[in-house]
Every structure is written in C-alpha cells, then in structure tokens.
Structure 1
Amino acid sequence: MSSEGLPSLRWGIIATGQISSWFASDLTLLRPNAKAKHTITAIGSSSREKGEAFVARWIPDVSPPPKVYSSYDQVFNHPDVDIIYVGTPNSFHKQNCLDAIAAGKHVLCEKAFTLNVREAEEVFNAAREKGVFIMEAMWTRFFPLVRKLHRLVHKDRVIGDVHRVFADLGLDQDISSLGPDSRLKNPALGAGTLLDICIYSITWGLLTMDSRTGESAEQPVIKAVQTLSHSIDVASTVLLLYPSTQKQAICTSTAMFRTPDVFCRIEGTNGHIEVQGVSASCPTAFTIFIKGRSSEGERHTVPKPGHGLYWEADAVAQDIAAGRKENAIMPWSETLRVLGILDEARRQGGARFPGDD
C-alpha cells in the first residue's frame, strides 16, 4: 500500500508504440480521484535509444526516471517490477505474457489478448499455475461513462427492451501504402481490422445487448463477412444474433473511412441512445432520446483527463491488493468469449493468420 493508503503498483512497460505512450503518460497524471498509486520502474524497447526517446517524450518528469532496457527479459526479471504492461503487436502477446508469468509478474496485456482462443487458454493456464493476476487491457469497459451507460440500459432500462444495436469503428489507414512489415498489413503480426478495431465494435454490441459477461452471458449466433486484401481484412461486419430474443447487434470496422463522432446507436422499445467520441474505443458522451420527449435528448458526460487508460490500471491495482487473480469487469471468461467470436468471424470471413488450422 502507498503512503496515501491507496494500493500501489510498480510497472514495467514493454514496447514503445502509440498505445504504450498513452498508457505511460496516463499513469503519471496527477488525478485527485485516483484509486491507486502507479510507478513506472522499467521500460523495455527494441533499442536503448528508442526507449530513452520514449521516456524523454512521454514521461519526462518522472523522478526517478524508469530504467530503460533493450531486452524485454530484463524488464520481466527486474526485482522492482510488480506488473508488466504488454503493448507489443498482437502476435507477440502470447509469448510476452508467458515470459512475464514465468518471471512471477502480474500482467496487463493489450487487446486483442492473443491471436485466438487456443493461445489465450494457454496463457490463462500458465497464470493460474503461477498464481499471478492477468487481464486483457480492454480499457473502454472501465470508463465511468461506459459503466454509467451500462447501468442505465440494463438496470434502469431507460429505453426499455434493447432490440438492436449498431456499432462501428472506421479509420482511414491507407493500408495499400504501408510496407509489408507494418503491423497493420502483416498477417504474421495479427493484422487486419477485426482484431485491431472491430473488437471495440463487438464489445459495444456485447455490453449493450446483455448485462452479463463471460460464462454467464448468452452466447450469440455469429454471422460474419469480410473484405480481404492480401489475406487480411480491411473491412469486417459481424452480426451478433441472440437466440432467446432475436435481438441483433451489427458490429462493423473498416480501414478505408473514419467513423463520424456518433459511432453507436442503441435502439429500444421506448427510445434510443447515441454514443459519441473520437472512436468506439474512447467514448466521450452519450445522449438518451425517449419517444415523445424533446428531440434534443438528455446528454451525459464524465470528465476524462488524459486518454482514460488509468481507470483500468486502477482496477488492476485494487484487484492485486485484494489478492484477486482476475477482474470482474474483464474476467478471463469474457476474453475467451470475445476471442471465440473473433475466431468464428475470421473462419466465416476468410482472414487467416500463419498457423491457423
């Protein structure tokens, strides 16, 4: 525990790409309502020079500065690191997690957790045997705004029975101009919109269709199509059909067009809700429209300094302090459920990774 009575964690961050930069800068924000104390102890990069540049740009005021290593193993085995944040490309997640677990470290691993269900099961089994905490870093689920929306939809039933949801995340990524080794183009790195961004659209479908997660949630029927380029998907459409109610979630992604601010519409018997933000991964507001009431609707926002990755980090710190090995908002079973949907979508849509059956 920290001197302020808050749970504390010492982080080792591996990889120095965009998501790691957001995570590192968010951990160091001064927040009056922080639920945990975070210290960045070590950074692992492909070169020492790259790691030092990362520190200088994104966390220049951290004192003492984190140790910078050109080897991930040095971070995994650092005695002053409690937990590893894995920000590498998708195809490296499995091995990075296994190496961190073998070193006795807790793990927060970026989405998609692994390339498929089979890999995730191997990682979770290793974590169970070692007795460490591990979670997929699906940061969106931890936003207070998302938790508020979830409560209003499922507990308060503000729009009645939800019967259909549209959720989209599109980015103009100009895939054709990228080199063959880009993480967005190379199948060996888990490229394609499905794992990279459609996972967020699917998350919105799951969150708004069912109040439950993981094993207790209803398993929808999956229908999927993909537009492929060089064996990766540049657009995916995944339909989640719930057998018990026949309600539908239409979850889409594209690398050819940026989605407008309103990225999700939740339709119910008494009205609808529009969710907006820079993308489906980072919502900033939602507006409730009730049938027969003002056309302007009722807008809800929650203050969000920085990017919003600290909420998942706080939750992880609280879980570890309490001795828990997984998180109730993003349990292992929910990671496996989502990966199962992604596996089936690729099977139907045709996108393939090396090693796929």
Structure 2
Amino acid sequence: MENVSVTKNKQLLIPENFIRVLFLICVLLGLGVLASLGFGSRSVGWNELVDGLFHPEAQYHGANVVRQRIARTVFSLMCGAALGVSGALMQSVTRNPIADPSILGVNTGASLFVVCGISFLNISTASQYIWLALAGAIITAIFVYGIGSMGSGGATPLKLVLAGAATSAALSSLVIAIMIPRSNVMDQFRFWQVGSVGSGNWSSVSTLVPFLIVGILIALFTAPALNALALGDEAATGLGVRTGTIRLIAAFGGVLLCGAATALAGPIGFIGLLATHVIRLLIGPDLRYIIPLSALTGAIILTISDVCGRLLGSPGELEVGIVTAFIGAPILILITMKAKMRAL
C-alpha cells in the first residue's frame, strides 16, 4: 500500500526500555485483573479466587462471586483498551496532545443520539445503543473537525479543543432538554450517562468484540503513516503518504472504538488521554508501539479505577466514570500547562 510504504525500508527500531515497560504493564495488568475479581461489595480470599477460576466443581458462594465478576472484568479490560487506542488515534490525527473522545465532544454526541433513541424510538438494548452511539460519535467528530478547521491556520490544537468544548456544551444542553420532560427517560439514561462497567456481561463482551478488533486493526495498519504525519503534511506527502485518506481512516477507527465503548459503558472520560501520555512519556513517539501499549494501559487504568470505585463506595459502588474524572481532570491541567498546546 502506498500510504504505508514509507516504513518498508526502515529498520524497526525497538525503544530502549520497551521490554521493561512491557513487563511492568503486564504485571500491573495481572494485578488489576486479580483485584477486579477479588474486591467488591463482598471481597473474597485467595482460595475462593483460585476455586472460582480453576475449579468449576466448587459451588460455594465465594467461588460463584468470582465467576460472576469475570465477565465484568473482561468487559472493563476491553472498554479500557478501546478508549486507550481511540485516544492515541485522535491525538495523532489532530496532532493535538490533549485530544481525547471526551474533550473533543465525541462522547457527548454519542450520548445525545442514545437519549434520542430512548426517548423517541424506545430502544433499550445494548445492540440498539451501539449503532446510535456510533452515528452520534461520527457526526460529532466530523462537525468538531470542520469547525476547528475554519479560518486561517486550519485545524490547530487550540481551535479543535475550543470547538470540542463548545460542541460538547451545546449537545449536553440538548440532552438535558430532551430528558427533563420525560421522567422515564431520565431514570433509564442517568445511570448510563455517568459511565460504568457494572452492567458488563458476556452479551456486552460479545457485542464489543468485533468493533474492538476492527478498530485496533485499523490503528495498527495506519500507525506507520501516522508517524510520518507527525513530521508535517508536506513531509508526509513527500514520503508517499496520502494524508487525507490516512486521517480519514484513522479517525474512523478512533471514533469506532470510542463509540462502541461509550454505547455499552457510558461516556467514560480521560482514559485515552492518560494511557497515551503515559506510554509516550515512557517509550517515545513511535505509534507502532504506542498503540498496543496504550490498549494495555487503558485496560489497566479503567479496571483499577473500577476497583477503586467499588472500594470507595462500599457496600455499594462509585461509578468508574466519576473515578476517572477525579483522576483525569488534574492530570489534564498539568498536561496543558506543560504542553502549551503545541502540536505533536
């Protein structure tokens, strides 16, 4: 393919500390999975954890609690991976160091379409949510990029963030306007709107799998060309990259991942921002490594945030969207102070 030929003759240089970072991520991922299976409104011991995972003949309460948490844990890992890769793609496409589905208004667009579906089409299942959320995310992404591209200088990081913030505020007002006169819609929508993986089950997992696979494949396919885009459009074009086509494909992959995760878990913010920045800080700017490691890091952040929400809200739970907002907001402020809105 012409748009990825720029890397065929280049040696695949592995970042110096890649192995150490990968090992650390795998350890944290394993600990996060064990914590997700072991902690909650009813914490379990090591023996119960082992029986629940490896001894199906064990049918006592503790082992069954562990088995019930497996689907939620898998769902949390998948949503975190989807949001992590989506953040990496959006930052690369927009060349904006603080691009994230929640910051650019994509989550809010998905929310608006979902609440419209609940209000006017009487939808109630995840398979119905997902297509409306994808449509809302795609339309919002196109609108924000179009607004941010107007005027001199094109789609600069500052203009994209301002366009995303303004669009998100306007769409949030529409969501509220639709819900207020419809109490039944408000009851159904308010739990989804906060963002939670608590309703994750095997049906949610199976619904998300194809979107996750397609989105990650798109991300990996476009990664070499996106590396060239980081040099600037003129340099990338000189290297044989079709900049418009690559941006379109990569943006579609990012919106696909974000929209699918948002439809099933609600609008969970800051995962893509945090995961991508952590990995870029540790291994550098090469997207061939950032994308897979962002998937793993996003899975870790969301899963551990979910565990923290269960522990902080015990005997109930604090929704994971609230936890990630508390973590992500101050980090976003630090990033914007240091990055000073410079392009990637």
* Structure-2-length-normalised TM-score: 0.28
Q: Which has the higher contact order (CA 8 A, sep 6+)?
A: 2
* Structure-1-length-normalised TM-score: 0.28
Instruction: From the two aligned structures, give the one with the greater strand fraction.
Output: 1
